[in-house]
Structure 1
Amino acid sequence: MNQKSQIFAHTDPYAVSDYVNQYVGSHSIRLLKGRDSKSSLNHRNFGGLDLCRISYGDSVRVTSPGLETCYHLQLLLKGHCLWRGNGLEHYFAPGELLVINPDDRAELTYSEECEKFIVKLPSVIIDSACNELNWQKPSGGIRFPPRHSLQQLNGFINLLGLVCDEAEHNMSMTLVAEHYTKIIATKLLETLSSNVSRKGFVEGNPCFERVVQFIEENVKRSISLEQLAELALMSPRSLYTMFEKHTGTTPMNYIRNRKLECVRACLSNPTTNIRSITEVALDYGFLHLGRFAEKYRSTFGELPSDTLSRHKMKCIDSRESSLSSLF
């Protein structure tokens, strides 16, 4: 974002905070060092999005009670930011993306040099994209994991760059802005893991249903593209087209994602006796454990060891509950 969108430059951080409360999201700030800090802010509204580039110029603690009807996509550009939310915490570094869901409380601690690019995305836009994809939206609303690496989100940073260029143009057209907004919402739904069910596409398509059923029944095995094409009675190219239409991804990516989801379900299940993450990963065909851990983190926003730690805590709580019931 350039000078056309600059609202504040080297200004009182509380003035910047007041502006953010009005246009970007409800929050409060507290300067940790209490000195004369200088904050900067760029802001543009574009097709229902609010685009914001912000730096407070000091160590600042930001507390948000929840954004109610919108998502915040916060891309760290410089410095670092400690995020706390939902009983978890993580130091975000440049190139990492934080997603704050509607109604999620969050506490953020910015370093002095911290600079962020923020996209405020109304939840109705995500809901609309989900409906157009014919996917099933959960009754409690669509939710994404908080942590993501832009290296794993193919093309997303370029998409944001195009949106900023359009937003800075004085003659940006409303219809163009709406198309870009829809693309961002669809990209998030198709790229990030979420609690959305994609089963809506299966209905009315026996061929696709048959292929998906085969994958579910053989998810622990190695499945080739040729096997699926033969099962579907179509060429590999046609198979790619069918999966792109119904899932927004390739057949092999779909299989990998299902394997990852099964691993996560196993690691999260307090009734499952898990000896090691390696054993579970190998059971689902992940032979390169380093790449498995990185893909798991980019998909679910945490390492498999984090999931397993919660699994163990659930087991301990369950045993303690059972013991207490005896007395």
Structure 2
Amino acid sequence: MAGLVVDLPVHQSLRTSDLEQARAFCRKLYYAAPRIEPVGDPGRFDFRADVVELGSITVGEVGHGTDIRVWIEGLETAYQVLVPLTGELLSRHRGAVVLADRTRAVVFRPAGDIELEWPGSCRLLSVKVERGALERELDAALDQQVVSPLPLGASFDLVDGPGRTWVALVRLLLNELRGPDGLASQPRMAARWRDMVVSGLALTVEHPYGEEPAGLQGPYRPRTVKRALDAMHAEPWRQYSVRELATVAGVGVRVLQDAFRQHVGMSPLTYLRRLRLDGVHADLSRADPGAATVSEVAYSWGFTHLGRFAGAYRARFGVAPSTTLRDRG
């Protein structure tokens, strides 16, 4: 079952002067269609990347050796943080222009296009967190409804406060996972470190959610709704009925349905279906096409009717599940 799968770290590195090889590497580990164009001396192009994938996060150090420009279109599946280790980076995203350097990280929401002016002097730490993972973490930490995508700030400070600690944690994790004998390479420890990276980012990024409800916040959820949500997240593949969820919550069916519409914005079973779809999408996005099939992943998340599943998947993500699996390979 999906909940029993232990994510193992996968370490991949590349050094090349071939632009197409660099593009292919970035497509595989980050986004489907990045455009990378040298604007400096093409003869100095020296792509170096050292990247570790660990479940819902992808962490790596990346540099290009010469000045480049990068365009990423239609970012939808993940949140991204870039932290220059040397030099500086200019980014444009959703109207925000950020000059990132060793004192300030840049943050991208899964909405809209990204443009980067990336000097050859800039080698950076790149952290990608799957959309559902960060949203579930912030949702759970606040115990209230959050909007998706999260209205995060475009940057955060690295000199003082949680930003400095979070980056130190990420760098330590990357160094540990790159070695074969580090403690973090053990599956149970690796999963805990991954969770620390996600939860640490949720506490580091700027957002409008706080102690008092704000304009973008949803209402605090009653305990009955929280009980049903906890049950669904614990066993998302289980074939729950509304009546079973109402029993878990300790209320009647109609009361639970009304509470979900008010505090979650959808019915309990709609929420469960979305949770499962997000889980399938995450698994397909990192699966080996030669070792996994769409039907196996769908069944592991509780989908028993593949035709209806495929239609719901396309409606949520805009592509067929087989396309997600194939593009990952």
Q: TM-score normalised to the size of structure 1? A: 0.56
Partner residue of 1:178? 191
Query: Which 4+ stretches in 1 moved above 4 angstroms?
Result: 197-205
Of 20, 24, 43 in structure 2, the residue corresponding to residue 14 of structure 1 is: 20
Against the structure 1 CA distance between its residues 134 and 18, is the aligned structure 2 distance closer, same or farther, given a 3 Å change threshold?
same
Q: Distance in 1 between matches of 2:210 and 2:112?
A: 21
Letter in 2 for 1:136: Q
Tell me the matched-pair count.
202
1:159 aligns to what? 169
- Taking the aligned partners of 1:203 and 1:127, their CA distance within structure 2 comes to 16
Contact 1:138 1:195 in 2 (8 A): no
Distance of 1:56 and 1:18 partners within structure 2: 14
1:187 aligned residue (193, 200, 224): 200
Root-mean-square deviation (CA), in Å? Answer: 2.6
SS state of the match for residue 133, structure 1?
A: helix
| 8 Å Cα contact 1:79-1:115 kept in structure 2 | yes
Q: Aligned partners of 2:65, 2:20: CA distance in 1, in Å?
A: 12
Instruction: State how far apart, in whole Å, the 1-side matches of 2:203 and 2:59 are.
Output: 21
Deviation at 1:46, TM superposition (A): 2.0
Inter-partner Cα distance in structure 1 for 2:175 and 2:13: 17
Uncovered stretches (5+) of structure 1, i.e. residues with no partner:
206-327
> How far is 1:118 from its partner?
0.3
1:77 matched to which residue of 2?
85
| 1:131 Cα deviation after fit | 3.5
Give the drift of 1:123.
1.2
Q: Report the CA distance between 1:17 and its aligned residue.
A: 1.9
Task: Classify 1:109/1:197 alpha carbon distance in 2 versus 1 (closer, same or farther; 3 Å).
Answer: same
Q: Is the 8 A contact 1:78 1:115 kept in 2?
A: yes
Does residue 124 of structure 1 match 2:132? yes
The Cα of 1:32 is off from its aligned counterpart by: 0.8
Contact kept, 8 Å, 2:14 with 2:48, in 1: the verdict is yes
Mapping of residues 254-265 of structure 1, within 5 Å: none
| 1:24 aligned partner | 30
Q: Compute the displacement of 1:13 (Å).
A: 3.2
- CA separation in 2, counterparts of 1:152 and 1:146? 17
Match of 1:263 in 2: none
Q: How far apart in 1 are the matches of 2:28 and 2:18?
A: 16
1:5: Cα distance to partner? Answer: 4.9
Q: Which amino acid aligns with 1:135?
A: D
Verify the 8 A CA contact 2:27 2:34 in the aligned structure 1: yes
The Cα offsets for residues 96-117 of structure 1, whole Å up to 9 and x where unpaired, read as: 2111111231100111211111
The aligned residue for residue 50 of structure 1 is: 58
- The amino acid that maps onto 1:151 is V
Deviations 1:190-218 (A, max 9, x none): 2322144655897789xxxxxxxxxxxxx
The CA distance in 2 between the partners of 1:53 and 1:22, in whole Å, is 15
Question: Residue 142 of structure 1 aligns with which residue?
Answer: 150
